Amino acid sequence: MRFPSPLPLHDLFLLLLFFLIVTEVRWVSSSRKYKIGEGRDWKIFSNCLFHSLLRGHDYQDALSKCILFFEGQRSGSLLVDQRMIWRGPSALGDGSAAGVDLTGGYYDAGDNIKFGFPMAFTTTLLAWSIIEFGDSMPPSTLREALDATRWGSDYLLKTVAHPDRIFEFLEGSEDSLASYKVWVDSFMCTLVPESSSPHEEYTPGGLIYKPRGCNMQPVAPFAFLQLVYVNYLSHSSQNVNCSGVIVGPSSLHQLAKRQVDYILGDNPMDMSYMVGYGSKYPQHIHHRGSSSASIKDHPQFIAWKEGTVYYNSSNPNPNVLVGAVVGGPGKDDFFKDDWADPGESEPTTYVNALWLVFLRILLQTVTPIRYRDYSLFPTFYFHLYERNKRKKGCLDFKENED
Please say whether the beta carbons of 271 and 280 come within 8 A.
Answer: yes
Beta bridge partners of 214: none
Please say whether the beta carbons of 287 and 347 come within 8 A.
Answer: yes
Q: How many Cα atoms occupy the beta-carbon half-sphere of 375 within 13 Å?
A: 9
Instruction: Encode burial over 15-50: b for 16+ CB neighbours within 10 A, e otherwise.
Output: bbbbbbbbbbbbbebbeeebeeeeeebeebbeebbe
State how far the alpha carbon of 66 is from the alpha carbons of 8, 56, 375, in Å: 23, 18, 27
φ, ψ dihedrals at 246, nearest 5°? -85, 120
User: What is the DSSP code (8-state) at residue 89?
Assistant: -
Torsion sign (Cα): 271, 25, 63, 53: negative
Closest CA to 25 of 223, 171, 293: 223
Quote the Cα angle for 292-295-297, to 5°: 85
Please state, in angstroms and rounded to a whole number, the distance separating the CA atoms of residues 9 and 194: 40
Closest CA to 354 of 157, 128, 81: 128
The residues carrying an active-site annotation are 286
Please state, in angstroms and rounded to a whole number, the distance separating the CA atoms of residues 142 and 124: 16
Quote the Cα angle for 108-60-207, to 5°: 60
